[in-house]
Amino acid sequence: MTAVFAWIPLFPLAGALLNGVLGIRLFSRRAVHAVGVGAAGLSFLASAVSFAGLLGAPGASVTRTLFTWIPASLVSVAGGRAVPVSFEMAFRYDSLAAVMTLVVTGVGLLIHVYSMGYMAHDRSYARFFAYLNLFTFAMLVLVLGANLAVMFVGWEGVGLCSYLLIGFWFTKDSAANAGKKAFITNRVGDFGFLLGIGLLLATLGTVDTAGITAAAQGGLLTPGLATAAALLLFLGATGKSAQIPLYTWLPDAMEGPTPVSALIHAATMVTAGVYMVARLHALFTLSGTALTVVAVVGVATAVYAATMGLVQNDIKRVLAYSTISQIGYMFVGLGVGAFSAGIFHLMTHAFFKSLLFLSAGSVIHALSGEQDMRRMGGLRSRLPRTYPVFVVGALAIAGVPALSGFFSKDEILAAAFASGRYGVWAAGLVGAALTAFYMFRLIFLTFFGPDRMDEEAKRHLHESPRVMTAPLQVLAVLAAVGGYVGLPRVLGGGAWFGRFLAPSVGEHEAGIAGGTELLLMALSAAIGIGGILAAHAVYVRKEGRPAARFVERFPAVYRLVSHLYYVDDVYNKVLVRGVMRLGSILGWIDEHVVDGLVNGAAALVRAISRLAIGFDGEVIDGAVNGIGSLSRLIATGLRGLQTGFVYNYALAIVLGLVIIIALVVTIL
Amino acid sequence: MIPINAVFGLGLLLFFIGLFGVLFRKNLVIMLMSLELLLNGVNILFAGLGHHLKSPRGSIFALFVILMAVSEAAVGFALVLSFFRSKKTYDVDEMNELKG
């Protein structure tokens, strides 16, 4: 049954082509979403069937080569050997790919359905669904790619779709700029990713993920090379997954429509970096340095982004920083060697974060496009279907026990503790407290307290249609119970998720005593609940006064955080302006040197042609005219002979006759 | 018997007198007359040489030339008359239109 897996990406591709080529002009709205949602649905069905097949054959890894992309040619690799290297357009399906395809197509399907309601009034309905399907296709190519070359195609494909969808409302300047920012920032990461692929190709002569894994486990890579390759690949991951230092594009990406934020900038694309590291876990495990870098960057991002989430007033931006922070946790999991824990958090995060984004979209929809939490409040009773699912999502991300986020985040923190990196573990706990606090700040500001909308928004206030709230309810169920697939042994579970993934990403045992593990769990649960209570105290009981007082007392701190640590400004001043200046220097060179050369060449040609004109006029024309006047001169002379007098002619005849006779006589 | 040298002398004398007349006289009628003289010089040569060589061919050619000279004279005088009608003169210096 796993054989159908190669079909998974083809449905969205067909949907994207249909909607993109025909749909924009020809299809009715009904036809557009039938094609778009249908493609996502079929793809999900194929994923589910493949997954069922894989359950029957645990640990299987099926590779299907569609065609040879680049035929074999000899590439000389490290050690002076020349090996034939060919690039196959091949897909591979194993437990990691199974989890990823299920998440991508499952959450993707729900978001497609949601979009039918959210985008109902948009003029570019078909374009939206075409992009959404194209994105799904690219993401599936990324997770199914059997080698890094195919993966890179998907990697770039999702980047392109991200750009297209962030700038979906491209008539708005901020959206168009945000799209460009996302794309260009990702280029920096992609540069590293591509170099990493090239390094592996040059060293091992293969880019096949299984080949790389085998080579890494077979000791074909020196630690230095492994570190270099892993760090280069990780640079790509920081770009795609919005980690320090390449995270600045993600908050701006919120300019895109909310379903896009949910699908691309929360559930799937931004986790591509996590997936890639997990896929190449054998390479990363070889290098302790690389793993430490991954863990430290992860935890630093987790805490750092959480602090910025505390001061945002835009509901979607809070969630954006939260996403950055949560992906940081996933990298912590990877960095401490618990790859399955990272993927576990990836999955639960996909559930609760897309739930949060879509719920936020529902709130925004209800308020006619208002995103500022300072003009919300008191929506609890006005949005009776959105409110409970939003709270479920927030509880899940805050790490309240029994919900999905608790299990996955706790597994990561336990692994960090077990690995002996206590600093990482402690910072992770701080981040968890901040997460709970800013998430419930959002809930309390949005749904509790007095309403602060303007009259216009209040008049149009309405709960979202069923087509939007139904996917929310499905996601809420997943966010609540999704964690039970990885219920740890100490709580009586079988840690099934980790065992399922083990053939793909390796076994990981926390290696800490059951009692300690329970203690850690209790601690992180207490921290999550503490954060929620603190948020309640600050924003409900005291109506935000402590926060205002804090700002008054420490204005410098507030300014620093609310200006996002001035990172954007520094990037703008140093990098963007530096590049601009370089551009203007190059422009000057272009204008003065290159154009000078071009103009000089033109002037030279003009001078030559002027010479040629002179030559033409004087010599050629001179020769032609000369021949003319010469013949005129001769004619003038000869004209004298033709007198018109008969006797002259007769004389000439006689003379001629005499001469001829004389000649004849002489010769004879 | 007339000596052959006398025949040559008379024939050539008449021919060159005729030739001189044709080339250097300015009166059309005189020119035509000179032309007849020229032809008759040739006739004397034909007839005399034929007689000298005991061949009838010279006399036959002389008869042809006489015949041709008659028609030439007829046509020539007709042309001279028509020229005189248009120009009112016999002077060949007035007759200079034979050029491009």
Residues of B in contact with A647 (CB under 8 A): 22-24, 31, 92
Of A103, A210, A229, A121, nearest in space to A482 by CA: A103
Average pLDDT over residues A392-416: 91
pLDDT digits (tens, 9 = 90+) for B6-60: 999 999 999 999 999 988 888 888 888 998 999 999 999 999 999 888 889 989 9
Whether residue A485 has pLDDT greater than 90: no
Bridge partner list, A208: A147
Question: Could you tell me which of A215, A222, A221, A163 has the C-alpha nearest to residue A190?
Answer: A163
Interface contacts (A, B; CB < 8 Å): 28
Lowest model confidence (mean pLDDT) among A192-196, A430-434, A491-495: A491-495
CA A179 to CA A166: how far, in whole Å?
Answer: 5
Digit-coded pLDDT (tens) for B64-83: 999 999 999 999 999 888 88
Query: In this structure, are strands A82-93 and A62-76 parallel, antiparallel, or unpaired?
Result: antiparallel
SS (H, E, C) A211-258: HHHHHHHCCCCCHHHHHHHHHHHHHHHHHHCCCCCCCCHHHHHHHCCH
Which of the residues A643, A646, A649, A651 would you substitute to probe the B interface, choosing the one with the greatest number of B C-beta atoms within 10 Å?
A646
> What residues of chain B lie within 8 A of the CB of A646, using their CB?
92, 95, 98
Q: Which residue has the tokens 């007769």?
A: A650
Q: Judge contact between A63 and A90, C-beta under 8 A.
A: yes
Backbone Cα Rg of chain A: 37
**What's the mean pLDDT in A79-101?**
88
Contacts of A441 (CB under 8 A, 6+ apart): A310, A318, A535, A538, A539
Q: What is the pLDDT of residues A578-605, one digit of tens each?
A: 888 998 999 898 888 888 899 999 999 9
Residue A666 C-alpha, separation from nearest chain B C-alpha, in angstroms: 21
Cα–Cα distance, A511 to A501 (Å, whole number) = 18
Closest CB to A643: pick one of B19, B22, B96: B96
| Separation CA A660–CA A13 (nearest Å) | 101
Chain B residue with Cα closest to A653: B23
Q: What is the ipTM of this complex?
A: 0.77
pTM of the complete model: 0.77
Residue A357's contacts (CB-CB under 8 Å, 6 or more residues apart) are A258, A259, A261, A262, A266, A316, A319
The model's pLDDT over A351-388, given as tens digits with 9 standing for 90+, comes to 999 999 999 999 998 888 888 888 888 888 888 899 99
A58 prior amide bond cis, ω within 30: no
The CA-atom distances, in angstroms, between A359 and each of A72, A78, A587 are: 50, 52, 48
Give the best residue of B12, B83, B91, B99 to mutate against chain A (max A CB count within 10 A): B99
Which chain B residues have a beta carbon less than 8 Å from that of A643? 96, 99
- Asked if A200 and A267 touch (Cβ cutoff 8 Å), the reply is no
Does A381 contact chain B (CB < 8 Å)? no
- Which pLDDT score is estimated for B100? 59
Are A377 and A448 in contact by the 8 Å Cβ rule? The answer is yes
The answer for A 107-166 residues in CB contact with B (under 8 A) is none
Residues of B in contact with A657 (CB under 8 A): none
In contact, A286 and A216? CB cutoff 8 Å: yes
Q: Closest partner residue to B98 among A644, A651, A654, by Cβ? A: A644
Task: Show the CA angle centred on residue A340, arms to residues A108 and A200, nearest 5°.
Answer: 90
What pLDDT digit, counting tens, does each position of A106-158 carry?
Answer: 999 999 999 998 988 888 899 999 999 999 999 999 999 999 999 999 999 99
Residues in A 590-649 with any Cβ partner in B closer than 8 A = 642-647, 649
B99 contacts A643? CB cut-off 8 A:
yes
Supply angle C-alpha B57, B63, B66, rounded to 5.
145
Q: How far is it, in rounded angstroms, from Cα A445 to Cα A440?
A: 8
Asked if residues A186 and A159 have their Cβ atoms less than 8 Å apart, the reply is: yes
